[in-house]
């Protein structure tokens, strides 16, 4: 867990919400930040980085994904 707390310092401004959710072990992060967080290119990289650090991996999604009954 110590590595995860230290990694908070490495996040850029748009990824501070991710760092806070990981640090506090929240289950979900709802975001409208498609450019830096909720996009198909960033999410796999973010998940791998968190996994490599042994950090908590939250579900990161948009409000539309959370509310869409047909998505799952």
Confidence of residue 35 (pLDDT cuts 50, 70, 90): confident
Average pLDDT, the chain: 81
Q: Is position 72 within any domain?
A: no
Structure tokens at 29: 């992060």
Q: Specify if 38 maps to a domain.
A: yes
Which domain range does residue 62 map to? Answer: 2-67
Lowest mean pLDDT among 1-5, 20-24, 40-44, 52-56: 1-5
Q: Is residue 36 part of a domain?
A: yes
pLDDT number for residue 50: 92
Which backbone phi and psi does 14 adopt, to 5 degrees? -75, -15
**35 three-state secondary structure:** coil
Structural domain contains residue 33? yes
Band of pLDDT at residue 10, cut at 50, 70 and 90: low
Residue 49 lies in a domain: yes
What proportion of the chain, given as a percentage, has pLDDT over 70?
Answer: 76
Number of domains in the chain: 1
> If you search the block for the tokens 């979900």, which residue do you land on?
28
Residue 10 domain-assigned?
yes
Of 50, 14, 51, 13, whose CA–CA distance to 31 is shortest?
14
* C-alpha closest to that of 22 among 7, 38, 39, 40: 7
Q: Tell me how far the alpha carbon of residue 62 is from its chain's centroid.
A: 11
Task: Tell me, yes or no, whether 47 lies in a domain.
Answer: yes
């Amino acid at each position: 867990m110590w590595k995860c707390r230290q990694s908070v310092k490495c996040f850029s401004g748009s990824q501070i919400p991710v760092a806070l959710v990981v640090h506090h072990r929240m289950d979900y992060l709802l975001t409208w930040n498609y450019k830096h967080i909720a996009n198909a290119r960033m999410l796999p990289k973010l998940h791998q980085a968190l996994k490599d650090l042994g950090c908590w991996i939250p579900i990161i999604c948009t409000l539309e994904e959370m509310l869409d009954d047909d998505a799952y």
